[in-house]
């Protein structure tokens, strides 16, 4: 969602900078466009960082004693972040 919002801000900012040709008194639309494009880049970078952080894999290591043989058994389970390890 944040990546899409960042792209949206970049597009709106580019439209204000390059396509809008009228002036408002007391408002610099070109500067507002550049600010929106900068904010869009920042939001997109934050969105990508959060996306890669969520996708990082985690592992859980469990050990137990096998009742039949009496040996210690260690099992490692890998899951994506957000998936529950049972």
Mean pLDDT check: name the lowest of 20-24, 27-31, 52-56, 63-67: 52-56
Q: In sequence order, what are the residues at sequence separation of 6 or more whose Cβ sits closer than 8 angstroms to the Cβ of residue 72?
A: 63, 64, 65, 66
pLDDT of residue 84: 46
**Is the pLDDT at 3 greater than 50, yes or no?**
yes
pTM exceeds 0.75, yes or no: no
Percent of the chain with pLDDT over 90: 50
Give the residue-averaged pLDDT of 22-46. 94
- DSSP class of residue 83 equals S
What tens digit of pLDDT does each residue of 49-59 get? 988 887 765 66
Residue of 75, 74, 12 lying closest to 39 (CA atoms): 12
């Amino acid at each position: 969602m944040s990546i899409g919002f960042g792209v949206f801000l970049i597009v709106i900012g580019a439209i204000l900078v390059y396509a809008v040709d009228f002036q408002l008194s007391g408002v610099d639309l070109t500067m507002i466009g550049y600010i929106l494009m900068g904010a869009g880049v920042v939001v997109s970078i934050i969105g990508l960082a959060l996306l890669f952080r969520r996708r990082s894999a985690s592992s859980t290591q469990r050990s137990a004693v096998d009742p039949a043989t009496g040996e210690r058994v260690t099992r490692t389970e890998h899951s994506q972040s957000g998936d529950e390890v049972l």
